[in-house]
Amino acid sequence: MKIIDLSSEYETLYFQCLEDWSEEIREAGDHRARWYEKYRSRGLRAKLALDDSGTVGGMIQYLPIEHAFAAGRNLYMILCIWVHGYKQGRGNFQKQGMGKALLSAAEADAKERGAKGMAAWGILLPFWMKASWFKKQGYSKADRDSIRVLLWKKFTEDATPPSWIRRKKVPAPCPGTVTVTCFKNGWCPVQNLAFERAQKACAELGDAVIFREVDTSDRETFLEWGIADGLFINGKEMGIGPPPSYQKIKKQIMKQLKKL
């Protein structure tokens, strides 16, 4: 196995989170590619893990925390680490050491670039990006917001811990309409998929439904709201987790339309 920097030949695969077999990933549009172009100049780094036959099985992406959705100084933050675990497509590469190798390569790279530590996020549930996995790799809790845990590992004694940037407000409903507001940073296909589905549902439901996009790749906009990604219907958030189906989003909007 070897770890390499993301190169142009693998960009499309990276935009698809290695899930080139997935219809849903295709439905998520080109937001990730556009995000990548924007964030490269902000110091975004990405690495891939290749097995002995040269097949890509894992990826990690991280960037200076000053451009991420947490507050901190002189740290890098991991947006996500993903070792392909599905049977489909390239198959399951988990538990063969790729995750550990990706993390340690990212840490070495961040150190070389002068970072004083690495931050990461995880959730307190036993699936998705598990906070417990980072703890096992030597990370400790710096902050918590509901089930989202912010973890970090310091490289130098004078490093200061990161903290969450918390929600400052939620979108206000607009009387006489159903307002669907989608906060989108672009980094995560799951949120990009929710965006695409919500936009499509709104376009089909007529003039009483207003679709609003909040582009949180603009730092000022993100700081104004304290929300990087999220979908709100009349000010009420559709929960975090797997992306809601198109039918579910449409049903929720129609429910609100009936109340007008």
Ligand X SMILES: CC(C)(COP(=O)(O)OP(=O)(O)OC[C@H]1O[C@@H](n2cnc3c(N)ncnc32)[C@H](O)[C@@H]1OP(=O)(O)O)[C@@H](O)C(=O)NCCC(=O)NCCS
Residues contributing to the site for ligand X (CB under 6 A): 80-83, 85, 94-100, 128-129, 133, 136
99 vs 186 by CB, closer to ligand X:
99
133 vs 155 by CB, closer to ligand X:
133
Considering the complex, what minimum distance in angstroms separates the CB of residue 101 from ligand X? 7
3 vs 253 by CB, closer to ligand X:
3
Paired residues of 215 in beta bridges: 184
85 vs 89 by CB, closer to ligand X:
85
Considering the complex, what minimum distance in angstroms separates the CB of residue 170 from ligand X? 24
Closest residue by Cα to residue 58 from 92, 20, 11: 92
Considering the complex, what minimum distance in angstroms separates the CB of residue 160 from ligand X? 26
Tokens 């849903």 appear where?
A: 24
10 vs 133 by CB, closer to ligand X:
133
97 vs 235 by CB, closer to ligand X:
97
Task: List the strands of the sheet with 75-83, edge to edge.
Answer: 2-5, 45-50, 56-64, 75-83, 117-123, 148-154, 140-145
Considering the complex, what minimum distance in angstroms separates the CB of residue 33 from ligand X? 17
Angle CA(200)–CA(206)–CA(207) in degrees, nearest 5? 115
Considering the complex, what minimum distance in angstroms separates the CB of residue 69 from ligand X? 13
- Can you read off the two tokens belonging to residue 212? 């609003």
User: In the 8-state DSSP scheme, what is residue 42?
Assistant: T
Beta-strand relationship, 2-5 and 45-50 = antiparallel
**Buried/exposed 153-189: b ≥16 CB within 10 Å, e otherwise:** bbbeeebebbebbeeeeebebeeeebbbbbbbbbbbb
Cα–Cα dist 11/3, whole Å: 15
C-beta atoms surrounding 209 within 10 Å:
21
Considering the complex, what minimum distance in angstroms separates the CB of residue 136 from ligand X? 6
* Cβ-proximal residue to ligand X, closest one: 99
